Amino acid sequence: MKTSNCLISIAAVAALSSAQAQAPAPMISAPTGTKTLAATLKVYAFPGAGQPAAQQSVDENECYTWAVSETGNDPFHIANQDAQVQAQAAQQQQAAQASTAGSGAKGAVGGAAAGAVIGAIAGNAGKGAAIGAGVGLVGNRARAQSNANQASAAASAQSQNSSKISAAQMTEFKKAFAACLEAKKYTVKY
């Protein structure tokens, strides 16, 4: 009995030491899923002096405020402006397309009236009205389409110009933001 108890004790000690040797590595806490201010702006800041996350958040907020005051560019305001310009351009295109459809009908009515008068002089008012309606429809639709194309091109150019300005403003802001973070001992890439 003593021998079996001794063997059981030895087996238990061996199993315990084996389990300790194969113990999993300590769990590393998972990311919280929230982005820092810098990461939201697509600026990556590494705490070069070992700053804790809370300090990095404070430093980023201070640098954000400083960069806005230095450059006059607020990235969140720039993004809103750009979205408004694009929405306005889309509305202008829709209005131009709607105008094209209405212009064809107006042209048809006006052309029919003119064609009826000319047809009456020539002896066939109905045929003149039909020809006039066709000519008026095509002519006004072509003019309206040309106007719509010009309006669309202008809206597109305005949107592209706004995007270029926004990109330049963002670059300027990011340079200032990065300079501030670098002064606070962060390694920064954007």
Q: For residue 21, what pLDDT is reported?
A: 46
What are the residues facing 63 on neighbouring strands? none
Q: For residue 13, what pLDDT is reported?
A: 46
pLDDT, one tens digit per residue, over 133-163 is 666 666 666 676 676 677 667 766 776 777 8
Q: Cα–Cα distances in Å, from 20 out to 23, 61, 110?
A: 5, 45, 95
Q: For residue 99, what pLDDT is reported?
A: 63
Q: Give the span between the Cα atoms of 13 and 141, in whole angstroms.
A: 94
Q: Give the span between the Cα atoms of 118 and 26, in whole angstroms.
A: 95
Q: Give the span between the Cα atoms of 65 and 180, in whole angstroms.
A: 10
Q: Cα–Cα distances in Å, from 151 out to 1, 88, 90, 101, 140?
A: 101, 12, 11, 15, 16
The two tokens of residue 64 are: 């954000």
Q: Where are the beta strands (DSSP E) in 11-95?
A: 44-47
Q: Give the span between the Cα atoms of 119 and 77, in whole angstroms.
A: 62
pLDDT, one tens digit per residue, over 70-101 is 999 999 998 888 788 778 877 877 776 676 55
Q: Give the span between the Cα atoms of 88 and 77, in whole angstroms.
A: 17
Q: For residue 112, what pLDDT is reported?
A: 53
Q: Give the span between the Cα atoms of 129 and 112, in whole angstroms.
A: 4
Q: For residue 164, what pLDDT is reported?
A: 85
Q: For residue 74, what pLDDT is reported?
A: 95
pLDDT, one tens digit per residue, over 24-71 is 444 444 455 688 999 999 999 999 999 999 999 999 999 999 999 999
